Amino acid sequence: MKAVHFGAGNIGRGFIGLLLSRAGYEVTFIARNEKKIRLLQQQKQYSVMLANEERDTEIVNNVTAISGKNKAEVASAVATADIVTTAVGVTALKHIAESIAAGIALRLRGTNKKPLHIIACENAISGSTLLKRRVYEHLPADLHQVADSCVAFPNTAVDRIVPVQEHDDPLKVTVEPYFEWIVDRSAMMEGFQEIANVKYVDALEPYIERKLFTVNTGHCTAAYHGYLEGYETIQEAMADLRIRSELSLVLSETGSILTSKYHWDKKKHDRYVQKMMVRFTNPLLSDSVIRVGRSPMRKLSLNDRLVRPALQAHELGVSIPHLTSAIAAALLFDYEKDEEAVALQAAIASSGIHDVITSHMGIPQKHAFHQEIVDSYGTLKESYAAVK
């Protein structure tokens, strides 16, 4: 079995590629880093170490790589693959769509009509649906109908913390022990061989929102409050009892949204939340608040980890003062080497906070939540003015 994975970064190697290799796939990484491409081609393996006391290490075999610049070779790999996955970042999907389309076209104009599953393992809602739209923009119109019959783009939810890291071996990657990969079974085509340790469900949205409103919301809450306090890592921020308490209260608020919306057992969800809190405090992982907080404009967009649960809370009548404070903290994220942070602060300076909340976050000024954000932003800004 052949798998093509776009992105040879830490998530690609330490999570998706690892599970695909375990399942018996020959994994071909499509990458940009020439050094990693060369090493993967030469060694055909790499190591993954768990951030646990035992430092358990696994060798991932049957791997190779192709440069993303080699369009013909990439198309050929996609044309003969049994599965295609991505971990490139949702904003980069548009850059790989043409290569995937070329591979599908080559496949369909040839003799290979076997079902192909293309799964975007990105930190986004409906990432595979987005990728399909991008791919079809490049796929010849006469192939759309046949592609619909044998190419599937099931959405997924993926979760594993893999911080920025450096090793003497450029291919080695350290990951947390916990992981979760959930795929929408209803979008799979008949005959697909399920991947071990991947969960297949008929209704994906509850799992997507559980992860988004708990892991992603929680992680960035710790990052933005930690940044304002001057901490460098999530672990340092979590050692601050005030931030830890604030995070716990945020997750209590998002938990109320989830248990109310999906009629979940509160005690069971609370156990999930506590497991996530333990992950954030793992002393064997050092995760930068800058990495977790980066791209604040994306994280403050309408359907992402902060605004989406907040608006649902208002619809359900759930009070969210602590989630509102997390949003305010995100609006104060001004790391000068982050392009989105710079753009966000420039927009606030030129147009004002009301306009940013309306135009970027999609919350009109007449919405009750709009003024709550403004008030919380003003309070936090004043509190940290002396620190700055």
- Domain containing 47 — which CATH number? 3.40.50.720
The predicted pLDDT at position 245 comes to 98
Within this chain, do residues 31 and 76 fall inside the same structural domain, yes or no?
yes
pLDDT of residue 248: 98
Residue 367 confidence (pLDDT) above 80: yes
9 known member of a binding site: yes
pLDDT of residue 385: 81
Number of domains comprising the chain: 2
Instruction: Quote the pLDDT of residue 339.
Output: 98
pLDDT class for 387, splitting at 50, 70, 90? low
pLDDT of residue 113: 84
C-alpha distance from residue 20 to each of 198, 206, 234, 274 (Å): 10, 25, 30, 29
- State whether 147 and 231 are in the same domain: no
Tell me: is residue 12 an annotated ligand-binding position. Answer: yes
Among the three residues 152, 170, 201, which one is the final residue of a domain in this structure?
201
Contacts of 264 (CB under 8 A, 6+ apart): 258
- Are the C-beta atoms of 96 and 138 separated by less than 8 Å? no
Q: Could you report the per-residue pLDDT of 242-253, keeping only the tens digit for each?
A: 999 999 999 999
pLDDT tens column, 61-101: 999 999 999 999 999 999 999 999 999 999 999 999 999 99
Asked if 120 and 19 sit in the same domain, the reply is yes
Distance CA 264, CA 306 (A): 21
Do residue 249 and residue 375 come from a single domain?
yes
Are residues 238 and 129 part of one domain? Answer: no
Contact 59, 42 (CB under 8 A): no
pLDDT of res. 221: 99
Boundary residue ending a domain (173, 201, 229): 201
Is position 10 annotated in a ligand binding site?
A: yes
Domain end (from 157, 172, 201): 201
Is 109 annotated to bind ligand?
A: no
Query: Is residue 6 marked as binding?
Result: yes
55 annotated as ligand-binding:
no
* pLDDT (tens digit per residue) in 103-118: 999 999 998 889 999 9
- 125/37: higher pLDDT: 37
DSSP string, 159-221: E--------SSTT-EEE-S--EEEEEGGGPPTT--PPTT-EEES--HHHHHHHIIIIIHHHHH
**pLDDT tens readout for residues 214-255:** 999 999 999 999 999 999 999 999 999 999 999 999 999 999
Based on the domain organization, do 209 and 137 belong to the same domain?
Answer: no
Burial of residue 327 (CB within 10 Å: 0-12, 13-18, 19+) is buried
Judgement on whether residues 340 and 236 belong to the same structural domain of the protein: yes
Q: How confident is the model at residue 198 (pLDDT cuts 50, 70, 90)?
A: very high
Average pLDDT, the chain: 96
Residue with tokens 């040879």: 8
Helical H runs in 230-367? 234-239, 241-262, 266-280, 289-293, 296-299, 307-316, 321-331, 339-351, 353-359
Same domain? 126 vs 224: no
CATH number of the domain enclosing 321: 1.10.1040.10
Tell me whether residue 255 is annotated as binding.
no
Would the pLDDT of 4 be above 80?
Answer: yes
pLDDT digits (tens, 9 = 90+) for 278-304: 999 999 888 999 999 999 999 999 999
Both 361 and 373 in a single domain? yes
Query: What pLDDT shows up at residue 388?
Result: 55
Q: Is residue 144 located within the same domain as residue 6? A: yes
Residue span of the structural domain in which 197 resides: 2-201
108 and 241 part of one domain: no
Was 175 annotated as part of a binding site? no
Verify that 229 and 127 share a domain, yes or no.
no
Query: pLDDT value at position 386?
Result: 63
Q: pLDDT tens digits for 123-178?
A: 888 999 999 999 999 999 999 999 999 999 999 999 999 888 889 999 999 999 99
Question: Is residue 222 annotated as involved in ligand binding?
Answer: no
Residue 310 marked in a binding site: no
pLDDT digits (tens, 9 = 90+) for 8-36: 999 999 999 999 999 999 999 999 999 99
